[in-house]
Amino acid sequence: MTADAFIFWFLSLITLGSALSVMLLANPVYSALSLVMTMVGISALFVTLGAYFIAGVQLIVYAGAVMVLFVMVLMLFDLRAELQAFSRGQISGALKLATVGALAGLIGGALLLSAGNVAEPSMAEAAKLPPDASKALGIVLFTRHIFGFEALGVLLLVIAIGTVALARAKGGTHAKH
Amino acid sequence: MPLGGVIFLAVFIALFGALLIVLARAAGGGLKTGTGVKFDPYECGIPGQEKRDTKISVKFYLTAILFILFDIEIIFMYPWAITFRDFIFSGQGLVVGIAMLVFLLIFIFGLFWEIKSKALEWD
Amino acid sequence: MGQDIFEIVVNGLKLIVIFLLMVQAVPILVWVERRGSAFIQNRLGPNRVGPLGLLQLLADAVKFLTKEDMLPNQAVRFLFYAAPVTALIPGVIAYCAIPLGTPISIEAFEMFGRSWGPYVFPMQGFDIGVGIVFVLGVSSLAAYTILMAGWGSGNKFSLMGALRASAQMISYELALGLSIVGIIMLYGTFNLTEMINAQQGALTYSAFGHQLAIPALPNWGLFYQPLGFILFFAATFAEANRLPFDLAEGEAELVAGFHTEYGGFKMLMFFIGEYAHMMIACGLVVTFFFGGYLVPYMTPEQVQSWVATWASSPNAVSAWTSVIHLLSYFVKFAFFMWFFIWVRWTLPRFRYDQLMDLGWKTMLPWALANTILTALVVYFAHTIK
Amino acid sequence: MPSTDVFTTITLQHYLVLSAALFMIGLTGVLLRRNVIVIMMCIELMLNAVNLSFIAFSKFSGRIDGQIMVFFVLTIAAAEAAVGLALIVCIFKRFREVNIRFFEHLKG
């Protein structure tokens, strides 16, 4: 039990630290690399939750593909540290932070109120899931969620066509500066 | 001890020592001996000609976008591949196979469209 | 990871040993590469330092060690130093997931006044259930190393080399990922050890309710997925940035690619990273298509019963069985490593547009065809009696 | 439950709190940063936080559907990143600008 707890605290420390640096670092390239670290940490947390296949997919898709795209675009633009990373305006900033605080309070309150209801059956239920759930995942995906799967195929096709059209768009209403 | 063993050990010790030294150096930062052009970007000896902000083809980034989309489609095939035989044995093979065939046709159509629209041409 | 302190310590030691073996293999591979290239091109190669130039390894190590560690003016300090270190880590972690031999079982014994239960140690860094997904995921992190090094060294040629290399890597990752769908379908698992166990015995095709056994050939994945093997192996060449796909370096156009500004030990770490990618590629090829650590024509049980005729204790039987399988793995592995070197000194380099065309327009459609064909064959072989 | 168990026994609540914290960090980034690429990265962070809670629920309720939902969210997030970055690159190529305030002027 203590080993599990230690791994959880260690991983959550890494994840939270790198997530904070995504938000705080002025250089967007460092932000992107911190986000990669966050995603690797979340993938490790998935492993602690027994979702091995999803952890691998998280590494392949998020860390290996999406973030490569982000880093590549940042390097194409060659954006160094910005002079002003955060938006101006003290009143609006305070309002935004207050919004975040309010939402955090709501979620925290909800968690506290629901603590008695959710936590009890956890260990008994957790044993139901097979240790290597990849096959179970495939079977459920291709029986219960098969239409979602096909819809995502169409979505990906539309996106592939749309991004190519966007990336080569010329002209428009604005003259070139 | 045979010669191979001696070499093995020697290389091992050398590499490990080197690792430690490099770590120490990285902590202290790069040495700054010598002056002037030594620390300029290397362009085969001539004085630096190129600015940092050279234009780079947008093709690289287009490739990366297409990679993401096709990569996800391939990832969707993995749970199918691992369970396909189980589905066949339980008699659902035809349904799942046709579902995957439709998905693959969408994939092939997308790939064919990208090739046709010259999004993958490099010249 | 382990139940008690002994198991944890042994598992930790195993990781360190695998890391050291990988690092150790690099100078030897460099020597083989230099002597091999000289042999292929009818030259002598390094032959002055020590017998057969063997001490050249030591000389190289000393040279790498004593080079000045410099930071170019326009470099981004953190990225410039972090990139070589991150070149090593994904390679080593991914290689740890590849099984190298049969598990070693140790019977219960007495030590320090208490009894230590029977243990089974798999001959791999760690046994993760979804081996192949894990290996693909971890090794896809290598793109950052290249981008960090290219952008961090503040050189235009480095950046261009990095963009080329990463675009190449991600393009071939598609063909790589798709070419193993057929293999996954046949074995019905992501686990590398289970894949190897499925390849025991003599080649037996079972289809349409009949069985066709070919005792002259082992039951290797190669004979089920020949096209998949070719596509996978070719894609790994591109993933490891080796000739004929080393467009990242392309000395004629770019100075030296993303590691133009690097020298000394940082350069050596990039070297180790490149060889680590080759090792992962060879390990996976052997695991998928050539029976992994299995001894051809013999199942692990047969090997074990043969060992039991001369070995004394159960621990020794298990250990010797494992060592024999390790050797078998190593022979196959060494052959493919040699194949990498052989190809490097035989084929010329592609042009960049040819490279991209090959990846997207040739290998990806063929991998798709392989997937569909495998699915059709699997479906009809199991339904038509 | 005694109070020391909070540190030694990991329950669903721990994962949910972690996920909420990550979500809040992402939200703060979206609201406060000016660079539109960083804003997109913070959106990815928020989606990841949601994924974490999905997986935690899946584990502690013994149902696999949560993992499949994560699979879908992952796909949609990647698609969103692809389209978003295509738009950003399009705008950057013409105006050399990534400030979110500038995007307000793109009308008509």
Please enumerate, as own/partner, the contacts of D2-10 that have beta carbons within 8 Å and a separation of 24 or more.
Answer: D7/A5, D7/A9, D8/A1, D8/A2, D8/A5, D9/A1, D9/A5, D10/A4, D10/A5, D10/A8
C-alpha–C-alpha distance, residues C116 and C243, integer Å: 51
pLDDT at B36: 66
Residue among D26, D45, D59 whose CB faces A126 most closely = D59
Please report which confidence band the pLDDT of residue A175 belongs to, taking 50, 70 and 90 as the band edges. very low
Domain boundaries, chain B: 59-116
Least confident of A51-55, A155-159, B44-48, D94-98: B44-48
Say if residues C291 and C99 touch (Cβ distance below 8 Å).
Answer: no
Which neighbouring-strand residues pair with D84?
Answer: none
From D34's Cα to the closest Cα of chain A, the distance in A is 5
Q: Find the CATH number of the domain harbouring D44.
A: 1.10.287.3510
Number of domains in chain C: 1
Average pLDDT (B103-111) is 91
Q: Is the pLDDT of residue C105 over 90?
A: no
pLDDT at B20: 56
ipTM of this complex prediction, to 2 decimal places? 0.88
A79 Cβ under 8 Å from any chain B Cβ: no
37-66 of B, contacting C, C-beta below 8 A? 38-44, 50-52, 54, 56, 59-60, 63-64
A111 Cβ under 8 Å from any chain D Cβ: yes
Q: Is the pLDDT of residue A118 over 70?
A: no
Q: Is the pLDDT of residue C127 over 80?
A: no
Asked whether the beta carbons of residue B72 and residue D75 sit closer than 8 angstroms, the reply is yes
Q: Which range has highest mean pLDDT (A47-56, B98-107, D2-11)?
A: B98-107
Asked whether the beta carbons of residue C163 and residue A72 sit closer than 8 angstroms, the reply is yes
pLDDT at B2: 38
Are chains A and B in contact at 3+ CB pairs closer than 8 Å?
A: yes
Average pLDDT (B51-75) is 80
pLDDT at B55: 63
pTM to 2 decimal places: 0.88
Within C167-250, strands assigned E span 202-207, 210-218
Say if residues C292 and C199 touch (Cβ distance below 8 Å).
Answer: yes
Asked whether residue A109 is assigned to any structural domain, the reply reads no
Q: Please give the residue that has the higher pLDDT: either C342 or A126.
A: C342
Classified as helix, coil or strand, C62 is helix
For residue D79, list chain B residues with Cβ-Cβ distance below 8 A.
Answer: 69, 72
Please give the residue range of the domain that contains residue A30. Answer: 1-82
At residue C129's C-alpha, the angle toward residues C192 and C333, to 5°, is: 25
Render pLDDT for D18-77 as a digit per residue (tens, 0 to 9): 999 999 999 999 988 888 889 999 999 999 999 999 999 888 888 888 899 999 999 999
Q: Please give the residue that has the higher pLDDT: either C294 or C155.
A: C294
CA atoms within 13 A on the CB side of D57: 14
Residue with tokens 């097979």: A130
Average pLDDT (A15-35) is 90
Q: Is the pLDDT of residue B27 over 70?
A: no
Residue with tokens 């133009």: C260
Asked whether residue C246 is assigned to any structural domain, the reply reads yes
Average pLDDT (A162-166) is 85
List the alpha helices (DSSP H) in chain D: 5-8, 12-32, 36-61, 65-95
pLDDT at B11: 45
Say if residues C248 and C164 touch (Cβ distance below 8 Å).
Answer: yes
Number of domains in chain D: 1
Which residue type occupies D18? L
Q: Is the pLDDT of residue A173 over 50?
A: no
Q: Is the pLDDT of residue B19 over 70?
A: no
pLDDT at D1: 45
Please give the residue range of the domain that contains residue D74. Answer: 5-105
From D57's Cα to the closest Cα of chain A, the distance in A is 9
From B83's Cα to the closest Cα of chain A, the distance in A is 6
Please give the residue range of the domain that contains residue C357. Answer: 72-383
Burial class of residue C249, CB neighbours in 10 A (0-12, 13-18, 19+): buried
From D4's Cα to the closest Cα of chain B, the distance in A is 39
C-alpha–C-alpha distance, residues C1 and C9, integer Å: 10
Please report which confidence band the pLDDT of residue B8 belongs to, taking 50, 70 and 90 as the band edges. very low
Number of domains in chain A: 1
pLDDT at C284: 93
Please report which confidence band the pLDDT of residue C49 belongs to, taking 50, 70 and 90 as the band edges. confident
CA atoms within 13 A on the CB side of C283: 25
Please report which confidence band the pLDDT of residue A99 belongs to, taking 50, 70 and 90 as the band edges. confident
* Best of C29, C52, C56, C71 to mutate (most B CBs within 10 Å, chain B): C71
Asked whether residue C351 is assigned to any structural domain, the reply reads yes
Asked whether the beta carbons of residue A86 and residue D33 sit closer than 8 angstroms, the reply is yes
pLDDT at C288: 92
Please report which confidence band the pLDDT of residue C317 belongs to, taking 50, 70 and 90 as the band edges. confident
D11 Cβ under 8 Å from any chain A Cβ: yes
pLDDT at C227: 93
Asked whether the beta carbons of residue C68 and residue B12 sit closer than 8 angstroms, the reply is no
A53 Cβ under 8 Å from any chain C Cβ: yes
From B1's Cα to the closest Cα of chain C, the distance in A is 16
Q: Find the CATH number of the domain harbouring A53.
A: 1.20.120.1200
Render pLDDT for C221-260 as a digit per residue (tens, 0 to 9): 888 889 999 999 999 988 887 777 776 666 656 667 787 7
Average pLDDT (C78-89) is 80
Q: What percent of chain A has pLDDT over 70?
A: 78
A57 Cβ under 8 Å from any chain B Cβ: yes
Chains contacting A (3+ CB pairs below 8 angstroms): B, C, D
C-alpha–C-alpha distance, residues B48 and B41, integer Å: 7
Q: Take residue A140 and report the two structure tokens written for it.
A: 């459920």
pLDDT at C88: 81
From C6's Cα to the closest Cα of chain B, the distance in A is 26
Q: Please give the residue that has the higher pLDDT: either C7 or C235.
A: C235
From C206's Cα to the closest Cα of chain A, the distance in A is 23
Q: Is the pLDDT of residue C125 over 80?
A: no
Residue among A64, A68, A157 whose CB faces B109 most closely = A157
Asked whether residue A124 is assigned to any structural domain, the reply reads no
Q: Is the pLDDT of residue C286 over 90?
A: yes
pLDDT at D74: 92
pLDDT at C228: 92
Average pLDDT, chain B: 73
Q: Cβ atoms within 10 A of the Cβ of A123, count?
A: 11
CA-based nearest residue in chain B for residue D73:
B72
C-alpha–C-alpha distance, residues A8 and D8, integer Å: 10
Asked whether the beta carbons of residue D79 and residue A159 sit closer than 8 angstroms, the reply is yes
Residue among C78, C137, C143 whose CB faces A59 most closely = C137
pLDDT at C178: 92
Under DSSP, the state recorded for A59 is I
Average pLDDT (B98-113) is 90
Q: Is the pLDDT of residue B115 over 90?
A: no
Q: Cβ atoms within 10 A of the Cβ of D57, count?
A: 19
A18 Cβ under 8 Å from any chain D Cβ: no
Asked whether the beta carbons of residue D82 and residue B58 sit closer than 8 angstroms, the reply is no
Q: Please give the residue that has the higher pLDDT: either D47 or C104.
A: D47
